[in-house]
Amino acid sequence: MRRNKFWNRKVEVDWIKFDSWKEAWFYQNMQLLLKAWKIKDLELQPTYVLQENFKYKWELIRKIKYIADFSYYDFDLKMQVIVDVKWFKTPDYKLKKKMFLNLIKDHNDTIFKEV
């Protein structure tokens, strides 16, 4: 069985490969909430641009992206929810999380959740 960089086992649910059983478990719970009409618009691995490409002198600096694990609209909260399922919080993740929170800070209809 293949493992990712944090020694988690890849798990497949509904023909979708997840990086860990925790992500797969969360996905299965979201499927139940979809069927119960508690949430809508479930998206896997939504991507957000934290910083666009730019040139510094003659060098192209590539954009910085943040890829969350899930995104959905919660009917009870009346908000968009962005979810990251984490076992380990790497320095790279912590930095991108801060940049992402800065990006959404003025969006009163969006919240970020760590599982």
Tell me the H-state helices in the chain: 21-35, 91-104
pLDDT at 2: 47
Q: Is residue 17 part of a domain?
A: no
6 pLDDT above the threshold of 70: no
Q: Is residue 16 part of a domain?
A: no
**Which residue bears the tokens 């399922």?**
85
Q: Is residue 33 part of a domain?
A: no
Q: How many domains does the chain have?
A: 1
Q: Is residue 57 part of a domain?
A: yes
The string of pLDDT tens digits covering residues 33-56 is: 999 999 999 999 999 999 999 999
User: How far is Cα 30 from Cα 3, in angstroms, rounded to an integer?
Assistant: 24
Report residue 81 as tokens.
């929810």
Q: Is residue 50 part of a domain?
A: yes
Whole-prediction pTM: 0.85
CB atoms within 10 A of CB 67: 11
Domain extent, residue 84, equals 41-114
59 pLDDT above the threshold of 50: yes
CA 36 to mean position of chain CA atoms: 22
Q: Is residue 84 part of a domain?
A: yes
Q: How confident is the model at residue 30 (pLDDT cuts 50, 70, 90)?
A: very high
Q: Is 55 left (phi over 0), alpha (psi -120 to 50) or beta?
A: beta
Q: Is residue 107 part of a domain?
A: yes
pLDDT at 28: 96
Q: Is residue 4 part of a domain?
A: no
The string of pLDDT tens digits covering residues 62-104 is: 999 999 999 999 999 999 999 999 878 999 999 999 999 999 9
Q: What is the CA radius of gyration of the chain?
A: 16
